[in-house]
Amino acid sequence: MTAKQLLLSTVLFFAGSGLWIKQLYAAEINGAEEINVAVASNFKPVMNDLVAHFQQQSGHRVKLSFGSSGKIFAQIKYGAPFYIFFSADQAKPIALEQEGLIEPNSRFTYAIGTLALWSTKKNFVTEELLRLKSGDFNKLAMANPKLAPYGAAAVEVLDHLSLTASTQPKWVQGENIAQTYQFVSTGNADLGFVALSQIIDKGHSNSGSIWIVPEAFHQPIRQDVVLLKRGKNSRAAAELLQFMRSGEAKKIIEAYGYKTLTSTSKTIPITTPITTPITIPITMKNPEV
Amino acid sequence: MSFSEADIAAIWLTLKLASTVTVLLLIIGTPIAWWLAKTQSWLKGPVGAVVALPLVLPPTVLGFYLLLAMGPNGFIGQLTENLGWGLLPFTFWGLVVASVFYSLPFVVQPIQNAIESLGDRPLEVAATLRAGPFDSFFTVVLPLAKSGFITAAILGFAHTVGEFGVVLMIGGNIPGETRVVSVQIYDHVEALEYAQAHALSGVMIAFSFFVLLGLYGFQRKQTSFLSPRGV
């Protein structure tokens, strides 16, 4: 390296660091932050939508990591750099709370899932549930009840209908609700208990047949969010959590087929068993907010 | 360290699956390896590449397309339905078919290498002694390429034991039918049952270690005693 090159690279190095420091400084002035947030995979489409709105309003940047709640739980326990964790259930946030890994009193329910019995075949699912009752189907897909709240709810529904014993030999379990959806959408399982949000998101609401399970048939599928210790002093994290409780955020969440705590049943289009085929307007996905 | 009934069922199922797949792979893989070792055809490259694809493809991707292919609208699904076998996903035999695809390169490549390193000479000699093709395969090729076949069998077996992504996609987690050890460990971890996960993982690590130790010990013996000329 000649003296000239050395001089040039030194100048470039300092100029580069200067720019970087200037940017950091600018970020400080504006109060804009960048935060890492972990989100259960089933909430991915909604979260992307929510974060787009939040970033536009606040100027903060949110980096989302998606995964199963169980894996995210393990990662947080062993030091993953997340500020907030949106779980697909209530059990993992409660476990983190008990282990002292979250900010006290930060846990709340941000969405309540809606369970639906779905088939890609027309008239396969009817209000009378004739197919399910007579056993006239090849497989019944559900999420693993041990791991996924939608799976546990599906078993509760079958218990409620006294169909657990008769259908059990035909159960196939997805590790999560996304895989359960695949089992049905690829036609490998005639029937499956999936999340209403998936059917709405994929625009499948007007194909096949669907029965939206009445709320009374199972415990609510509550999805909780927690502020983690690492996010304690972050203004962006606090603002994102505040945004999640806003009417604007709830409107978006409900448009994807979830319920929220204050809204309960009245904002969801269908709360009673309905006959097929039903049509949920796809425009719901992009509400005017 | 104690195992639940479900853990033990998963261990048995895994051993059953891996054994079945290994036997089938040796039967299917040998002619493919033979052809790849001997052919002059331009198809050698493409066929070799297809056989090696599972080495590159992520297992969940392979599993997803197997789910589509074996489903009622897929070509394998339509074939099995026309044959009256029903659909393969969520069945033990579905896992067998998927595992055969997935572990194929681990069986074909060692056998192919062993046959290639034999050269044409032993077969030419056998032919001059009037040995038919089958005779020369069993009395000449098999004994001379023995180490390649044993390596292939062990790798095929071990790779099937360690299979996860494909099984997850097409298995449906049915106890005694498709819930293998790797899936059972995954379930324990996801359910935060870390103690059970550790126990079952421990068994798997010990098993894999001894299988590979046996393989490498065997290979060393082969090279030092059977190939004094350094082949």
DSSP A217: G
Phi, psi of B129 (to 5 degrees): -90, 15
Q: pLDDT tens for residues A45-71?
A: 899 999 999 999 999 999 998 888 888
Question: Which residues from B are below 8 Å from A183, CB to CB?
Answer: 67, 89, 172
Task: Please give the Cα distance from A101 to B179 (Å, whole number).
Answer: 33
CB A170 within 8 A of CB A135: yes
Task: Please give the Cα distance from B60 to B165 (Å, whole number).
Answer: 5
Question: Which residues from A are below 8 Å from B186, CB to CB?
Answer: 175
Task: Please give the Cα distance from A34 to B154 (Å, whole number).
Answer: 50
Phi, psi of A143 (to 5 degrees): -75, 150
Architecture of domain A3-112+223-255: 3-Layer(aba) Sandwich (3.40)
Q: pLDDT tens for residues A160-210?
A: 999 999 999 999 999 888 889 999 999 999 999 999 988 887 666 567 899
Please tell me the number of Cα atoms within 13 Å of B13 on its side-chain side: 26
pLDDT greater at residue A88 or residue B131: A88
Q: pLDDT tens for residues B29-81?
A: 999 999 999 999 999 999 999 999 999 999 988 998 999 999 988 999 999 99
Six token digits for residue B95? 């896992």
Q: Is pLDDT above 70 for B229? A: no
pLDDT greater at residue B99 or residue B125: B99
Most confident of A79-83, A103-107, A119-123: A103-107
Please give the pLDDT value at position B191.
80
Nearest of A51, A93, A33 to residue A69 by alpha carbon: A93
Nearest CA in chain B to A146: B191
Q: Are strands A221-227 and A84-86 parallel, antiparallel or unpaired?
A: antiparallel
Instruction: State the nearest Cα–Cα gap between A188 and chain B, in angstroms.
Output: 5
Nearest of A90, A88, A44 to residue A65 by alpha carbon: A44
Which H or E run includes A110? strand A108-113
User: Cβ separation of A175 and B173 shorter than 8 Å?
Assistant: yes
Cross-sheet strand order for the sheet of A84-86: A61-67, A34-40, A84-86, A221-227, A108-113
Name every residue whose Cβ is closer than 8 Å to that of residue B124 and which is 6 or more positions away in sequence.
none
User: Cβ separation of B190 and A141 shorter than 8 Å?
Assistant: no
A71, A92, A172 ranked by CB distance to B90: nearest: A172
Q: Distance between alpha carbon B51 and the CA centroid of its chain, in Å? A: 12
Average pLDDT, chain A: 83
Nearest of A152, A183, A156 to residue A170 by alpha carbon: A183
DSSP A277: P
Task: Please give the Cα distance from B49 to B36 (Å, whole number).
Answer: 11
For residue B79, how many other CB atoms are within 10 A of its CB? 13
Task: Please give the Cα distance from A63 to B164 (Å, whole number).
Answer: 29
The interface pTM score, or ipTM, of the predicted complex is: 0.73
Query: Hey, is A80 helix, strand or coil?
Result: coil
Question: Which residues from A are below 8 Å from B183, CB to CB?
Answer: 175
Task: Please give the Cα distance from B60 to B156 (Å, whole number).
Answer: 19
Q: pLDDT tens for residues B103-114?
A: 999 999 999 999
Six token digits for residue A167? 């259908």
Kindly report the three-state secondary structure assignment for every residue of B118-172: HCCHHHHHHHHCCCCHHHHHHHHHHHHCHHHHHHHHHHHHHHHHCCCHHHHHHHC
Please give the pLDDT value at position A205.
59
The burial of A50, by beta-carbon neighbours within 10 Å (0-12 exposed, 13-18 middle, 19 or more buried), is given as buried
Q: Residues, chain B, total?
A: 231
Mean pLDDT of B150-160: 93
The residue behind tokens 């103690």 is B195
CATH superfamily of the domain spanning A113-219+269-285: Periplasmic binding protein-like II (3.40.190.10)
User: Cβ separation of A70 and B192 shorter than 8 Å?
Assistant: yes
CB A68 within 8 A of CB A176: yes
Work out the pLDDT band at B24, boundaries 50, 70, 90. very high
Structural domains of chain B in order of their starting residue, each with its CATH number? 5-224 (1.10.3720.10)
- DSSP secondary structure letters along A32-46: --EEEEEEEGGGHHH
Nearest of A210, A188, A217 to residue A129 by alpha carbon: A210
For residue A12, how many other CB atoms are within 10 A of its CB? 10
Work out the pLDDT band at B125, boundaries 50, 70, 90. confident
Task: Please give the Cα distance from B18 to B165 (Å, whole number).
Answer: 15
Task: Please give the Cα distance from A172 to A144 (Å, whole number).
Answer: 9
Q: pLDDT tens for residues B170-223?
A: 988 888 889 999 999 998 888 878 899 999 999 999 998 998 898 888 777 766
Q: pLDDT tens for residues A234-281?
A: 999 999 999 999 999 999 999 999 999 875 444 344 333 333 444 444
Please give the pLDDT value at position B212.
86
CB A241 within 8 A of CB A227: yes
Task: Please give the Cα distance from A75 to B189 (Å, whole number).
Answer: 12
Q: pLDDT tens for residues A10-23?
A: 666 665 555 555 45
Question: Which residues from A are below 8 Å from B169, CB to CB?
Answer: 179, 182
Residues of B near A (Cβ–Cβ under 8 Å) read 64, 67-68, 70-73, 87, 89-90, 168-169, 172-174, 183, 186-187, 189-192
CATH 3.40.190.10 in chain A, residue ranges: 3-112+223-255, 113-219+269-285
User: Cβ separation of B67 and A73 shorter than 8 Å?
Assistant: no
Select the residue from B90, B180, B185 to test the A interface by mutation, using most A Cβ atoms within 10 A: B90
The residue behind tokens 């001089």 is A7
Task: Please give the Cα distance from B172 to B63 (Å, whole number).
Answer: 12
Task: Please give the Cα distance from B187 to B180 (Å, whole number).
Answer: 11
Please give the pLDDT value at position A115.
95
For residue A217, how many other CB atoms are within 10 A of its CB? 16
Please give the pLDDT value at position B192.
78
Nearest CA in chain B to A178: B169
Beta-strand (E) ranges in chain B?
A: none
Nearest of A189, A228, A198 to residue A106 by alpha carbon: A228
Nearest CA in chain B to A188: B71
